[in-house]
Structure 1
Amino acid sequence: MKRDMRKYILRKLVELIFTLLFVTLLSFLLMRLSSVDPATAYAKRMIGNPTAEQIEKIRIQLGFDKPLLVQYGRWVWDLLHFDLGVSLANGHDVWTDIATAFPKTLGIVALASIFQVVFIVIVSCIAFLLPWKLPKKAVRLLCILGVSIPSFYLATVYLDYFAVQKSLISVAGNTTLLSYISPAICIGVFGASFYTPLLMDALEHESNEDYAFYARCRGLSEKRLLLCHFFPRAAMGLVPNFLQSIGLALANATVIESIFSIPGFGYLIVNHVLDRDTPMIHAEVFFLALAIALCNIAADLVQWAIGRKKGVA
């Protein structure tokens, strides 16, 4: 079994490497196909009204005159040596800016994940224990509504109401941990609305299994069956998909952070795309793809472990 696990992990690592190579190469290709020349954008930002000779000199200085594969090869070589270059917009080291911004995004996503788990577990378990069908239908209706509303629209409405109309939260300068709660809620609404009906269905399925019938005959209460049998079995099947959703939440945070003016990873990406800051853009694409891929690998490993456990059982 250990050998099978090592082979499985090795295969996933190979997939991770090829995924990162493909995504980063695609980033270079899209930058090349863009109508905005990064050398021109940099020259205008530094000089103001540059001549064609000055732009060409900057293009050669930055290496943008080289073929695409040569630029990509140099970038990969520097990446292997932990050198991501310097930002063209502010002159900061790329590693420094990412190390400052990325933890903020991880904090938001972590809070969003906690919010989702608490909401999913509490609402699903309460709905399961209630003997009436109307509350369960109401929960499913609200979940459909939560899935249907885009996160960026929800964040805009949330900010307009609580910040502009009620002045309960700040519109700008959100750098404290408490300020991460609002974007975390906006990010977590979709996942909470998506997985709550799934867990409710899984609990209902477990309650109709043969072991549940025999457990009731032995006198076990519904609450004990829920906590000790139904919930662990039902949740186990949803864990891999939930881990994948964390990776999607990281991507979703890129837009939400801009709306709430939080200087996180997503806020960084938006600003540097507008500035045509190629060293920062390539690094940000790499780390975002790495985070999403790692979440998917974790989900696959959990799924594989669950499958092995069921196979052994």
Structure 2
Amino acid sequence: MKNDMLQYVLKKAAEIILTLLIVTLLSFLLMRLSPIDPATAYVKRNTPIVTEEQIQAARVQMGLDQPLPVQYGKWVKNALHLDFGISLGSGYPVWEEISEALPITLTIVFLAAVIMGLGIIAFGCLNFFLRDHVAGYLLICLYIAGISIPPFYLASLYIDVFALKLDWMTVAGNTGFSRYFPPALCLSVLGIALYSQLLSKGMEREMNEDYAFYARCRGLSESRILLFHALPHAIAAVIPSFLQMLGLFMAGAVIVESVFSLPGIGHLIINSVIERDSPMIHAEVLILALSFVIFNVLSDILQRCLQGDKEEQEGGCV
């Protein structure tokens, strides 16, 4: 069993490496296919009078005169040592700027995960108890709205209502918890609306399982079966998808944090695209792809473990 799990983990590690290679290679290809030359954009941004000689010198300095496989091979070799080059926009090392911005994005994602987890349990249980009432259908309408409205629009609406109309917060300059809560809340709405229904359906399904029937025969109350057996099993079934959502949060956070003027990865991405900062763009693509595939692989591994332990958990009903 341990050997099977080890082989499975090694297989997933190989998939991560292959995925990152493909994604970063596509990043290089798309930058070269773009009609805007990074060397030309760099010279125009730093020199009032642009000449062809200056552009060619910048291209040599940036290594763009070499064949694409050579450029990519050197970048991969340096990336293994966390050396992503120098930012063409700021002149500072790329990893230095990313290391300053990444904790902000990770904090938003972590807080969004906490809010989403608590919200899923609360609204999932509420939906379960109201499933045969009119209020349950109203909840479903709210869920549909939560799934349909994109997080960046919720962020704009949040600022419009709570900052401009109610004056409960400032648009910029917040510190501490108040700095990260609004973007985390806007990110978590989609996950709460989506997984609350799944949790409610899972609880309903678990209450009809054989172990629940045997528990009733042993005299256990419905509330005890629901709270100590059906709910944990339903939560365990949702956790793998929950982890996959965290990978999407990394991509969503880069947009939402820009709406709230937070200097995270989103701020770097927008500036690097505008400035055609290719070293920064390649590093950002790698960071986002890495976070996405890691959460997906963790989801797959956890789902495999939960499936292996399900029968043992059901047999432990007391």
Q: What is aligned with 1:75?
A: 75
Contact 1:129 1:222 (8 Å CA) reproduced: no
Contact 1:255 1:266 (8 Å CA) reproduced: yes
Q: Distance in 2 between matches of 1:229 and 1:58?
A: 65
Q: Distance in 2 between matches of 1:92 and 1:175?
A: 26
**Bigger shift: residues 65-74 or 285-294:** 65-74
Q: What is aligned with 2:31?
A: 31
Amino acid at match of 2:210: D
Contact 2:128 2:200 (8 Å CA) reproduced: yes
Q: Distance in 2 between matches of 1:59 and 1:207?
A: 66
Cα 1:131/1:281, change in 2 over 3 Å: closer
Contact 1:86 1:279 (8 Å CA) reproduced: yes
Contact 2:172 2:260 (8 Å CA) reproduced: yes
Contact 1:174 1:262 (8 Å CA) reproduced: no
Contact 2:128 2:201 (8 Å CA) reproduced: no
Cα 1:178/1:214, change in 2 over 3 Å: same
Cα 1:222/1:136, change in 2 over 3 Å: farther
Q: What is aligned with 2:227?
A: 227
Cα 1:49/1:29, change in 2 over 3 Å: same
1:112 aligns with 2:77: no
Kindly report which structure 2 residues correspond to 1:1-313, keeping only aligned pairs within 5 A, or say none: 1-130=1-130, 132-174=132-174, 176-310=176-310
In structure 1, list runs of 5 or more residues that go unmatched.
none
4+ long deviations beyond 6 Å: none
Overall identity of the aligned pairs, in % = 50
Q: Deviations over 1:123-144 (max 9, x none)?
A: 2223334585222222222111
Q: Deviations over 1:133-190 (max 9, x none)?
A: 2222222221111101111111111112222222322222345332110001111000
Q: Distance in 2 between matches of 1:270 and 1:174?
A: 21
TM-score (norm 2): 0.94
Q: Deviations over 1:35-89 (max 9, x none)?
A: 1111111111111331111111111111111121111111011112331111110
- Helix, strand or coil: the match of 1:88? coil
Contact 1:116 1:189 (8 Å CA) reproduced: yes
Q: Deviations over 1:238-263 (max 9, x none)?
A: 11111001000111111111111110
Contact 2:120 2:199 (8 Å CA) reproduced: yes
Q: Distance in 2 between matches of 1:280 and 1:52?
A: 24
Q: Distance in 1 between matches of 2:20 and 2:209?
A: 43
Contact 1:173 1:262 (8 Å CA) reproduced: no
Cα 1:30/1:185, change in 2 over 3 Å: same
TM-score (norm 1): 0.95
**Bigger shift: residues 286-295 or 125-134:** 125-134
Q: Distance in 2 between matches of 1:11 and 1:59?
A: 39
**Bigger shift: residues 74-83 or 279-288:** 74-83
* Alpha-carbon offset, residue 308 of structure 1: 2.0
Contact 2:131 2:137 (8 Å CA) reproduced: no
* Alpha-carbon offset, residue 27 of structure 1: 0.5
Give RMSD over aligned pairs. Answer: 1.6
Contact 1:175 1:263 (8 Å CA) reproduced: no
Q: What is aligned with 2:316?
A: none
* Alpha-carbon offset, residue 193 of structure 1: 0.2
* Alpha-carbon offset, residue 292 of structure 1: 0.7
Q: Distance in 1 between matches of 2:184 and 2:233?
A: 28
Amino acid at match of 1:286: L
**Bigger shift: residues 289-298 or 121-130:** 121-130
Contact 2:187 2:253 (8 Å CA) reproduced: yes
Q: Distance in 2 between matches of 1:136 and 1:219?
A: 29
